[in-house]
Structure 1
Amino acid sequence: MAVITISRQYGAGGKTLGQLIAKKLNYTLVNEEIVEKIAEKANVSRDWVEDFEKEAGGALQKFMSGLISTSYVERILGKEKGFLDEDKYVESLHEIITQIAKEDNIVFIGRGGQYILQDHPKAFHILLIAEKVDRINFMKKHYGLSYGEATQVVETMGKRRANLYKRFGKKDFDKPELYHVVLNMSKLSMEEASDFVYRMVADLVCHLAE
């Protein structure tokens, strides 16, 4: 029984690998469900949370957060309508991921799981990296994008990922010291990577059970 977090350079195949690992281990894959839970907790729409994550600390959110307090917005809109700002988003992520992790047998994709669960005794943290050209080609192949579109997505989402981690006060998300293993997906197939993680997690679980 373990909890796995998968962090990645965008386009390295984190979601695809997560699906394979969850299937092989019979674990529950948690990704978009977190959006639903944050929306429920903050009493806002799923679209609001998705837009907030996409915007990821951009100029508009910084402007809004700096000038308008949550208490003021609640007085204007009414608490029943909900509100989501940077602090509430990070607080909700911590609470939701920590709570879900108590169930064990979970695979988390992104959203700072390697930080939130850094002290979890059964957490196994994975980082996926790959050459930029390979990440672009992965997006082309799996999402039907042109080379130009895939390049733009990889570059844009990479910046958004960096901005998300800034909300945690972190800039070291690519440091190998944070992870149990770093997989170079330019040198491994998805099947090879998933088999490797399966064996590593199985060994970890056996070690924890001793």
Structure 2
Amino acid sequence: MAVITISRQFGAGGVTLGKMVADELGYTFADSDIIQRVAKEANVSTNWVESFEKEAGSKLSRFVSSMVSKRWLDRILGDERGYLDEQIYLDYLVLIIAQFADEGDVVILGRGSQYILNDHPDAFHVLLVDDLENRINFMMKQYDLSRKKAERMVENEDQRRINLYKRLGKSDFESPRLYHLVLNMGKTDLQTAKGMICEMVNKKETLKAS
């Protein structure tokens, strides 16, 4: 019933490696599933959650959150449809990541899961890092992007990551002390990285069973 969290600098191969590890171990890969569960709990569309994750923490979202009264929204919207702001999103995020962890046998991608599950006894926390140039090249090759688009995506996603951790009140998200394993993806390949993560988990599971 292990839980693996994968935090990463964008373009370091987190999605690709997460899926590889999940497939190898027969685990659930929780990425879009988290969006779907947040949408269901908040009674909003998955598109709303996806857009919110991209924009939350921006000046626009903070302005809207400060101007809109939740009490007014509750009265106007009633139970017909939901509402999402930064605090509600974070509350649901913590709840749903904890639910995935309780279910076990899951690889959770990002979203502050290394903090949310910091004290979970069966959690393994992994951080992926790489040089900026390598991350841009990875995005170009893996997703057939132009250099300009890959550069823009890496820049935007790096900023979004910083925004999320600011909302969580965290600034040490790349500190090695938070993680069981830190992988420099510029120094290894995906297959080797997958093997290292799976070996770490399998050894712990074998010790638990003995």
Distance 2:51 2:104 in 1: 29
> In 2, are the aligned partners of 1:70 and 1:85 still within 8 Å (CA)?
no
Q: Who is 1:42 aligned against?
A: 42
| 1:50-79 residue CA offsets vs partner (Å, 9 max, x unmatched) | 110000211111112222232221212223
1:104 aligned partner: 104
1:185 is matched with which residue?
185
Q: Deviations over 1:133-170 (max 9, x none)?
A: 11000000011111111111111110011101112111
Q: 1:202 — aligned with what?
A: 202
Please state whether the residue corresponding to 2:191 is helix, strand or coil.
helix
Q: Which position in structure 2 is the counterpart of 1:113? A: 113
Q: Residues of 1 paired with 2:79 and 2:165: CA distance?
A: 28
Stretch moving more, 69-78 or 196-205 = 69-78
Partner of residue 68, structure 2: 68
- Note the C-alpha offset of 1:12: 0.2
Structure 1 CA distance for aligned equivalents of residues 60 and 209 of structure 2: 49
Mapped partners of 2:43, 2:16: distance in 1: 30
Corresponding residue of 1:25: 25
Take 2:25 and 2:166, find their aligned partners in 1: how far apart are those partners? Answer: 32
Q: How does 1:112-131 map to 2 (within 5 A)?
A: 112-131=112-131
- Kindly state the Cα deviation for residue 205 of structure 1 after the two structures are TM-superposed: 1.8
Select between 64-73 and 81-90 the one with higher mean Cα deviation: 64-73
Would you say how many aligned residue pairs link Structure 1 and Structure 2?
210
> Is residue 38–residue 92 contact of structure 1 (8 Å, CA) maintained in 2?
yes
Unaligned runs of 5+ in 2: none
Q: Identity, % of aligned pairs?
A: 51
Q: Which moved more, 1:148-157 or 1:124-133?
A: 148-157
CA RMSD between the two structures: 1.1
| One-letter amino acid of the structure 1 residue matched with residue 74 of structure 2 | E
Matched residue SS, 2:103: coil
- Distance, in Å, in 2 between the alignment partners of 1:188 and 1:70 is 48
Q: Secondary structure of the equivalent of 1:81?
A: coil
Which residue of structure 1 lines up, in the alignment, with residue 8 of structure 2? 8
CA distance, structure 1, for counterparts of residue 194 and residue 152 of structure 2: 28
